[in-house]
Structure 1
Amino acid sequence: MNNYKSAFFIFLLFCLPIFAQEFKISGKVIHTDQSEVSFANLLLYKIVDTSFVKGSVSDEGGGFFFDNISPATYLIKASYMGNNSDFKRVQLTSDLDIGQIHVDSKAQSLNEVVVVFQKPTLQQKVDRLVFNIENTALSESNLWEVLKSTPSVFIMNNEITVKGEKGVQVLINDKKVNLPPEDILNLLNGTSANGVQSIEVITSPPAKYDAEGGTMINIIMKKNLIAGYNGAVFNRYTQGTFPQHTLGTNHYFKGEKFQTSFNYSYSDKKQLTNYTDITNFMENGAVTDTWISNLEVVDWSKKHNASVFLDYALDDRNTISFSSIATITPDYNSKDYSETVIREPNSPNTTGFFTKNDSEFSTINTAFYLDYDNKLNDKGALLTLNAHFTYYDYDKDQQLETDFYDESGTIVDDNDFSTINRQRTNLYSLQADFSTPLGQKLNFETGIKYALTSSESHISQQGFNRNQPGIDPTEDGNFIYDENIYAAYASMDTKWKNWSFKSGVRAEYTKTKGDFNLNNTKIGNDYLELFPTVYFQFTPGQKHRFGLNFKRSIIRPEYNKINPFQVFQSNNSVIEGNVDLRPSYKNSVILGYTYNKDYTFELFYRYHKNSITIFTFQDNESKLLRFTTDNLDRELAYGLDFIYRKEIVKSWDTYFLSSYFYAADRFNDRDTRSKIDNGMWTLLLQFQNNFTFLEDRSLTANLNFTYVSPIVVGNSKQEEYKEWEVAIKKNIWGKKANVSLTVSDLFNQFKLYNTRNYGDQYNISLYRPDSRTLTLGFRYNFGNMKINSNYKDKDTEERDRL
């Protein structure tokens, strides 16, 4: 096996075709009076779809250049202090000096804001889909709303998926956002899209990225190409059963060598969620009694989200950058009220119990990144160094009180206990990347990385007054878990005529060690794995594009799922950790065809070994409903995706996604240990309609529909669900501000109904969030808005395991 891996690695590095070619465009910006223009802005567009390619700034002598540009036909435009050049058309087949670009020397007033939004554009690269939103209407919303409109991205129950596949990782400027899913939601909801250039959907991440996870969404923040400052304040009010409020601000500044952006939001939310669990406890195949639990959860939270990005150009070749992303929850309260009714077969009498669960917790999650970029030569060689540190702090206190009643409704017993839970996690990483052209037809990239995770958890539970099988609360436990990852990768990419090719391999050696003070059993693992990636793209003409890619990846267990603790959420439901969780491996293949840029068909196949999921199962002996994270034997999915995106008329464009696939999860029954296959065909639909009204296009509307037919979820079968959303937005005050109105789950149809019926398991769960909400939004832009936007004013891109 080792010889096979070595041979495969050598093949990818040295046996790839050599076809790539990129060139340099240079020139000089001058006024019409022949004086040189320093620090003018240069914009490069593709003529085929007028999509933005790259920006540049002229030096003190007016000179400028664009490097690493593929052969094609482009448009170039220069601007300076509100003065613009005409577009210059260039046909690039080799290094090209286009000479002078003239900018009108007549001064212009900046007391008027002129921003005419264009349509978002799509760019299909060999290994990713790039959704350019800069200077579009979408840039006036928040990142969460942008993701809802991004092709192939599908929001399922506030979880980001790509065409139905879960486990999506979020990156900002190629930096992994190491936040739990609920914190990612808050971060994206609280961050304006005004500073975003594009959204990259990377369905099969190349070797440069960590092998952890699968699909990635990379949010590329735009550079403020023109010197100056601008900012915005925004306010959103959401009304469901309870109110929710978010207030935030964004700021952007660029000087001669220094540029920065800062984003901050504060949210105050109160939310209602309802659950129903129906458990038919069984013995010898017959139902002995049925427990019906109705739970109402009221969550109230205050959260702060902030991010900062700083770039400083030491000189023309060296840049140092600092960035930080933080989510702080100083106060989160949850009050759960439930009643469980116990019915016996053929008996009209019932017993049961009431449970009140009060919990408070707080979190601090901060990440810091330091980057250094060095352009080694004029041919495009680049060296990048990165250091990263994350600190995660989680504190939770829980008080659970249960009163039992008899057939007459009289309280006959009680059970009160408390839980204290603490978790501290530190993440460190160091990374070095090197890329360079090899001749004129090949690009080579390689790098190394070291990552260390150090996590310590503590739990203390007191007050239990019962003794029964299956009940083993951790009265006072400590769990320490360390993970070390050593990684190296190499990849090559090339372009030749109508072909694009990219391939690479990543090697990761992982060593884990755990220590549980109540168990002397050795906890840990170490393993070395290779993760190859291969991409092909063939474009025989302007109307046809074919693509093929393959990717192998790993999913490691989340740190809090490894903790060997048993934590009760009610008197008969318990969440349990699992120190025996194994990493899972996923292989995926996608074969795609696009016609005329508007119609895309993709055949896909995914095989996921040891897939990690949450099992809900009933313990018939102890009368418990248990929630345990465990490994499936395997997860299999294959099917066909169809994507349609078209501007029907100038004021109406639409996006349609259909995914029809077969998914099957194979797992072991906990009692009989026999293998059970849980599979079915599923249809997933997403339909988005975007409308523009009024002569100045200042009024926009969106109508979105989501539908998911019955689907497999681990050991459950989930019934169909659907959801409608409508949004309206109006620009006001010369487009310096906008107001918006959004109604989510318009017909109050969203709910999740799951059934588990096999062997001695027969239970049902119903999840009903407060999903029908009305949101009012207001945003005001200030500062040098014309300077920020004039280049497109009239012209048509480890922590989530905490």
Structure 2
Amino acid sequence: MPLFVTMLKVSTLFFLLLCIPVMGQEYKVSGHVKQTDGAEVAFANILLFKVSDTSFFKGSASDEKGFFSFKNIIRNQYLIRASYIGSNSDYKLVEVNSDLDIGLLYIDDKGLELNEVVVVSQKPTLEQKVDRLVFNIENTALSDSDLWDVLKSTPTVFVMNDEIKVKGESGVQIMINDKKVNLPPEDILNLLSGTSAKGVQSIEVITTPPAKYDAEGGTLINIKMKKNLIAGYNGAVYNKYSQAVFPRQMFGTSHFFKSRQLEASFNYSYSQYKILTNFTDITNFIEDGQIRDTWTSDLEVIYRSKKHNTSAFLDYSFDDNNTISFSSIATLTPSYLTRDLSDTQILDANDGSTSGFYTLNNGKFESINAAFYLDYKHNLNDQGSNLAVNVHYTHYDYDKNQELETDFYDGNRAIVGENNFNTFNQQHTHLYSAQIDFISPVGESANFESGIKYALIDSESYIAQEGFDRDQEGIESTEEGTFFYDEAIFAGYASFDAKWNNWSLKSGLRAEYTDTEGDFSLSTDKIRNHYLELFPTLFLQFNPNVKHRFGASYKRSIIRPSYNKINPFQVFQSNNSVVEGNVNLQPSFKNSVILSYTYDRDYTFELFYRYHRNIMRLLTFQDNESNLLRFITDNVDRELAYGVDFIYRNEIYNFWDTYFLSSYYYGAERFTDILSQESLDQGQWTLLVQLNNNFTLLEDRSLTASLNYSYVSPIIIGNSRQEYYNEWGISLKKNIWGKKGTITMGLTDILKQFKLTNTRKYGNQDNTSIYKPDGRVFSLGFRYNFGNMKIRDNYKSKDTDERDRL
């Protein structure tokens, strides 16, 4: 309890220092929505806009009899309009200086004489908020692809070697409706690539997350799910076939139900993939400053996977003030089989003789990851104050079995020896969390928010190896061991946001106390770490008029060692290649500053600076004595980056809009060589380019297309220099059968140019790694919508950001 008291005191002090309540007179605006034939329109959207700059101010919805009201409206002039299923009333100018009944808003009844809800394909739109970029994809060609493809098409997001980055920055966290997805990176890929994007409303790229969110990580990508607009039941089935060297298949179905108080959805997909990937490692092992021999390893990886992805969302409103929500998302991998075949040729630099070895690595992986969320929200008063409670549990288990067979050959490729062994690895992880959030308006245009959170991670790992030749030089493999890791986090935060005249402010302070403990069976020393850290955030935006927008932000964050990276076990990829955990990993801290200017909403310039201390990287080192390539996650002393971003978006013609991003920055990293303990610096100016083009074709706008291009010049990552790469991609979408059916086609890496080449040349390190995925993939998909597509009742959910389903 003393810890919670300390956090609350810090939060209160921060609020008192930064937040001066802005008090003023507030009024109520009410009215009534009808069709032109006199019938009431229930649950219509009512939108309020400022006259000064036509910006959106507030939204509401009419009740069952068509009545609506806005509370806490400050003195000003506004435009008000009602809309329902594509039909709108005329704008009405109102001046608020007292409580006001504006009378009737009429919606054309002809617009409601629809037998079906007709959704017209639209272009993706971008919205720049004070702390995030919102990429709206609903009803676009992207909505019929999977979430992985959507992320690769999202502005500022780059996918490099199956790792998600934002403008070149790693450590990206994935959320769904403001709830963090607690999955390792490889499972994030499995989940997103196996989940349809049809239920997605928008992708939020939050470059500097506010204090409400965990201080863990850097940029957040929040996947916002849309709500069902139609009363009753409806659903869809979809199928996607992809062809690269080998075929891939995904089948899925989604179901929605909505009544007056209950809204529920269920999604399921099954995917079956067979994928080819090639790697090449070239290592010049050095002795006395000279190359002793060169090892060239060509690795072909084929994996076959079967995956099930499910998600369920349920919202129940007891009344206007009380809502309970249940969410669940689960990924089941019953079969993930890998076949790694490598040929390593050894060239003696002295006499030119050759030898080598073949390695066959057969692996089997099974996993289950299930997360459950329970939310309760209570509105405390009519002014907008509310209290929200969330509890969460994640269960994650996996089994990894590996059979590695190595045959050594001489210069005539005659087999002269062998080394065979098996590895068995298991992990069981449980994550728990509970959070309470309080929100209250402060005056006429400000809000105060505060909350506390407790999170616990309990992880147990086990490894065993059988048949390994332990007399081999340089090998210190783990015969059998267990590793227990526990982490507890206590957090509290306070934040304040306000709008006045042409200014917007969002500020906050978060305090997190972390206590970790690790116990490795092969070590007598227990791992203990505990620390209390503060994480301030500040966002400021100034809009002098509709043509100009200025912004500034600051954020401090933390990245903690994950239970996978801190796991000390070794996993061999071949006879001379090993991936190692690191029990000595320390948390890293990042400070980020961004200054931005936007002209006419289409041209944005950003200056940024970030300093990341103790950043964690997967480093590649060559052990010249043991002829080993070691892949080790370690703390890099620091990462420093500064540069400028330019973003352009515009509608070139009424059928063509475009988005262009260029980021030019200097990135440098300082790391310590694990063998020589020498501190080294590497720096590089890097250019990132992203170009997205979206087209809407045909008279009925039923055909849409997207053409995307990405380019990354040489970049420094850890102790590696990665060479440039570029990639083109295209997608098409055609609505058929009165828009009940949808056909999609796509082609990635059109020119088959994508590959990643990483080099390490310094001191006694001289090696190159080349990653060549089977990136050119043709896909063909079909989706069919069924169920209640008619307007049988005017049930329509309010569009509120606060109501979360996951």
Is 1:151 the counterpart of 2:133? The answer is no
In structure 1, C-alpha distance between the alignment counterparts of 2:649 and 2:111, rounded to whole Å:
42
In structure 2, C-alpha distance between the alignment counterparts of 1:258 and 1:55, rounded to whole Å:
22
Partner of 1:800: none
SS at match of 2:593: strand
Shift of 1:57: 4.4
Partner of 1:565: 569
In structure 1, C-alpha distance between the alignment counterparts of 2:142 and 2:62, rounded to whole Å:
30
Q: 1:749 to 1:135 in 2, by over 3 A?
A: closer
RMSD: 2.8
Q: 1:650 to 1:45 in 2, by over 3 A?
A: farther
Shift of 1:177: 1.1
Partner of 1:538: 542
Partner of 1:10: 13
In structure 2, C-alpha distance between the alignment counterparts of 1:143 and 1:501, rounded to whole Å:
32
Partner of 1:489: 493
Query: Does the aligned pair in 2 maintain the 1:394–1:423 contact within 8 Å?
Result: yes
Shift of 1:468: 3.9
Partner of 1:504: 508
Is 1:711 the counterpart of 2:711? The answer is no
Partner of 1:631: 635
Q: 1:479 to 1:92 in 2, by over 3 A?
A: farther
Shift of 1:573: 0.6
Matches within 5 A, 1:46-85: 56-66=60-70, 73-79=78-84
Shift of 1:532: 0.3
Shift of 1:558: 1.5
Is 1:333 the counterpart of 2:337? The answer is yes
Partner of 1:754: 758
Partner of 1:44: 47
Partner of 2:89: 86
Partner of 1:613: 617
SS at match of 2:303: strand
Q: 1:180 to 1:257 in 2, by over 3 A?
A: same
Is 1:299 the counterpart of 2:303? The answer is yes
In structure 2, C-alpha distance between the alignment counterparts of 1:211 and 1:87, rounded to whole Å:
45
Query: Does the aligned pair in 1 maintain the 2:229–2:795 contact within 8 Å?
Result: no
Q: 1:662 to 1:301 in 2, by over 3 A?
A: same
Which of 672, 678, 703 is the matching residue for 1:699? 703
Partner of 2:218: 214
My pick for the range that moved more, 361-370 or 733-742, is: 733-742
Residue type at the aligned position of 2:47: L
Deviations 1:165-208 (A, max 9, x none): 11111111111111222322332233333322222211100000
Which of 723, 743, 747 is the matching residue for 2:747? 743
Shift of 1:115: 2.4
Q: 1:472 to 1:434 in 2, by over 3 A?
A: same
Query: Does the aligned pair in 2 maintain the 1:360–1:398 contact within 8 Å?
Result: yes
Matches within 5 A, 1:304-703: 304-703=308-707
In structure 1, C-alpha distance between the alignment counterparts of 2:278 and 2:368, rounded to whole Å:
28
My pick for the range that moved more, 401-410 or 524-533, is: 401-410
In structure 2, C-alpha distance between the alignment counterparts of 1:61 and 1:361, rounded to whole Å:
57
SS at match of 1:425: strand
- Unaligned residue ranges in structure 2 (runs of 5+): 802-806
Q: 1:647 to 1:34 in 2, by over 3 A?
A: closer
Q: 1:274 to 1:438 in 2, by over 3 A?
A: same
In structure 2, C-alpha distance between the alignment counterparts of 1:459 and 1:377, rounded to whole Å:
55
Query: Does the aligned pair in 2 maintain the 1:611–1:631 contact within 8 Å?
Result: yes
In structure 1, C-alpha distance between the alignment counterparts of 2:778 and 2:27, rounded to whole Å:
51
In structure 2, C-alpha distance between the alignment counterparts of 1:432 and 1:660, rounded to whole Å:
41
SS at match of 2:119: coil
Query: Does the aligned pair in 2 maintain the 1:202–1:216 contact within 8 Å?
Result: yes
In structure 2, C-alpha distance between the alignment counterparts of 1:96 and 1:252, rounded to whole Å:
38
In structure 1, C-alpha distance between the alignment counterparts of 2:750 and 2:371, rounded to whole Å:
37
SS at match of 2:150: helix
Partner of 2:274: 270
In structure 2, C-alpha distance between the alignment counterparts of 1:209 and 1:686, rounded to whole Å:
28
Residue type at the aligned position of 2:671: F
In structure 1, C-alpha distance between the alignment counterparts of 2:37 and 2:793, rounded to whole Å:
25
Q: 1:65 to 1:138 in 2, by over 3 A?
A: farther
In structure 2, C-alpha distance between the alignment counterparts of 1:361 and 1:292, rounded to whole Å:
28
Shift of 1:511: 0.1
In structure 2, C-alpha distance between the alignment counterparts of 1:743 and 1:652, rounded to whole Å:
20
Shift of 1:230: 2.3
Identity of counterpart residues, as a percentage?
Answer: 63
Partner of 1:186: 190
Q: 1:776 to 1:24 in 2, by over 3 A?
A: farther
Shift of 1:111: 3.8
In structure 2, C-alpha distance between the alignment counterparts of 1:647 and 1:193, rounded to whole Å:
24
Query: Does the aligned pair in 1 maintain the 2:50–2:56 contact within 8 Å?
Result: no
Residue type at the aligned position of 2:274: K
Query: Does the aligned pair in 2 maintain the 1:18–1:441 contact within 8 Å?
Result: no
In structure 1, C-alpha distance between the alignment counterparts of 2:138 and 2:792, rounded to whole Å:
11
In structure 1, C-alpha distance between the alignment counterparts of 2:96 and 2:128, rounded to whole Å:
22
In structure 2, C-alpha distance between the alignment counterparts of 1:69 and 1:780, rounded to whole Å:
44
Q: 1:85 to 1:610 in 2, by over 3 A?
A: closer
My pick for the range that moved more, 107-116 or 534-543, is: 107-116
What is the aligned residue count?
Answer: 789
Is 1:29 the counterpart of 2:33? The answer is yes
Query: Does the aligned pair in 2 maintain the 1:51–1:121 contact within 8 Å?
Result: no
Residue type at the aligned position of 2:81: I
My pick for the range that moved more, 83-92 or 766-775, is: 83-92
In structure 2, C-alpha distance between the alignment counterparts of 1:440 and 1:230, rounded to whole Å:
41
My pick for the range that moved more, 172-181 or 623-632, is: 172-181
Q: TM-score, normalised by structure 2?
A: 0.93
SS at match of 1:506: strand
Query: Does the aligned pair in 1 maintain the 2:746–2:780 contact within 8 Å?
Result: yes
Shift of 1:406: 1.5
My pick for the range that moved more, 148-157 or 375-384, is: 148-157
SS at match of 2:319: coil
Deviations 1:67-103 (A, max 9, x none): 6779774553244xx7956244355756654333345
In structure 2, C-alpha distance between the alignment counterparts of 1:63 and 1:109, rounded to whole Å:
21
Q: 1:531 to 1:126 in 2, by over 3 A?
A: same
My pick for the range that moved more, 327-336 or 223-232, is: 223-232
Query: Does the aligned pair in 2 maintain the 1:376–1:383 contact within 8 Å?
Result: yes
Q: 1:788 to 1:593 in 2, by over 3 A?
A: farther
My pick for the range that moved more, 723-732 or 374-383, is: 723-732
My pick for the range that moved more, 192-201 or 513-522, is: 192-201
Is 1:118 the counterpart of 2:114? The answer is no
My pick for the range that moved more, 414-423 or 780-789, is: 780-789
- Unaligned residue ranges in structure 1 (runs of 5+): 798-802
Matches within 5 A, 1:132-143: 132-143=136-147
SS at match of 2:525: strand
Q: 1:105 to 1:704 in 2, by over 3 A?
A: closer
Shift of 1:703: 1.3
In structure 1, C-alpha distance between the alignment counterparts of 2:287 and 2:499, rounded to whole Å:
65
Deviations 1:617-663 (A, max 9, x none): 00111111001100000011110011100100001111101000100
Residue type at the aligned position of 1:309: F
In structure 2, C-alpha distance between the alignment counterparts of 1:269 and 1:389, rounded to whole Å:
29
